[in-house]
Structure 1
Amino acid sequence: MNIAHLSDLHFGVHDSEAAASLVADVAAAAPHLTVVTGDLTMRARPAEFRLARAFLDRLPSPVLVVTGNHDLPLDSPARLFRPYDRYRAAISAELDPVVHVPGLTAVGLQSMPRWRWKDGRVRRSQVTLVESTFAAAPPGDLRLVALHHPPFGRMLMNGRALLGAGADLLLAGHTHHPDVRPMNGTTVVVAGTSTSRRTRLTPSSWSRIATGDGVITVTERHFTGGGWQTARLLTVPA
């Protein structure tokens, strides 16, 4: 099973060269599922969402997408009364999407409440959605959760409850730095900054996740200006 994991696109302040070449690099991995864990835009402006939509349409399908903290408008009236309208109109009407492919059951979660500006929260009803979806999944399916905020420290309220919901893989973004951590029986994979110019510690990157033979292999692909290259390969027990 191959999964492509992208995050922090930040269209509006994106690296146009990285964005232009990323689709081909992802497609070469032949993913069974492409996951984008939020921050599609920089300031949730309509023009930025249009750029993000055009980019998503070029990625290998199926594509699972969730919101990030930058995908909610900063202006108070829209954030208070219609925080997800622009995302719903341009990207997806479903904020907690469920995707099934042979051998894989995946749940995406909207982890950015309107009343928090940076860090996130998972509601009890979302944890229940994950539990019920996995309970109904075919035996042997890889169980995956995707959201913007990783369950580290204070970045995600109720993160511990989510880690107990039965996921084999939890994919996140937000930190702008790729990471892989086994946590409570779940392998947490954080993607770096895929196309944004707002990189930290590492250049633009995305993660290829391969599962099989009892292991999970994460290959981090970095953009160097001359193209995409493998920078790090990590293997953890499944």
Structure 2
Amino acid sequence: MGRGPSIEARKNASDAKRGKMFTKIIREVSVAARDGGGDPANNPRLRVAMDKGLAVNMSKDVIERAIKKATGELEGVEYEEIRYEGYAPGGVAVIVDCLTDNRVRTVADVRHAFSKNGGNMGTEGSVAFMFKRLGVLSFGAGADEDRVTEAAIEAGAEDVTVYPEDGAIDVLTSAEDFATVRDAMTAAGLVPDHAEITFRADNDIAVDADTAPQVRKLLDMLEDLDDVQDVYSNADQASLEQG
């Protein structure tokens, strides 16, 4: 009978994953502070990045050090924001957001991931038009639909989506109003289970069972790259998981 990975191996894998997550958040904090200043009260992007760090138990000292490096109080690394676009197998559109200190390395890594898994990189704007950038505040099963909807409208949200299968709710905002809506709803006693600014496809496309493993492998490989912050696609999640 085969044996699964040891406790130590699982812990090492978990630590590595946590380390990558911390690296991505620190880069996001750094760029947000560099571009909008180190005061989160006047920098919504920085507030979102800091909240993301605190939510995964990143220490305030680590976050503050990243801010000081970005604003010049401490010596730090300069990161550049780059977005790549392309297609996975089956015509699935993919957006890859990166923060890097070495553009040559990053584009080589991203191009390799696409080519290795049957995809191809496109030019700037080749798939971005299929997506909208928006804020999403997610409330889990059993959330009070009337209360959430009323608070969302009052806070200035753009839309509310209720999922009838389990009663979960998504409150949608513009990227610019995300922090304001989240703060207003939190003040009303409605703390979302998950909140982020993201890209959502206008229309998802189904992936057949033969193609799904290739698409998953490409998306996973891209997400695993050190310089990649976020990966978005218009693959229908249900078909992707069943394939």
Same fold flag (TM > 0.5): no
TM-score (norm 2): 0.25
- Larger helix proportion of the pair: 2
TM (norm. structure 1) is: 0.25
Structure with greater proportional strand content: 1
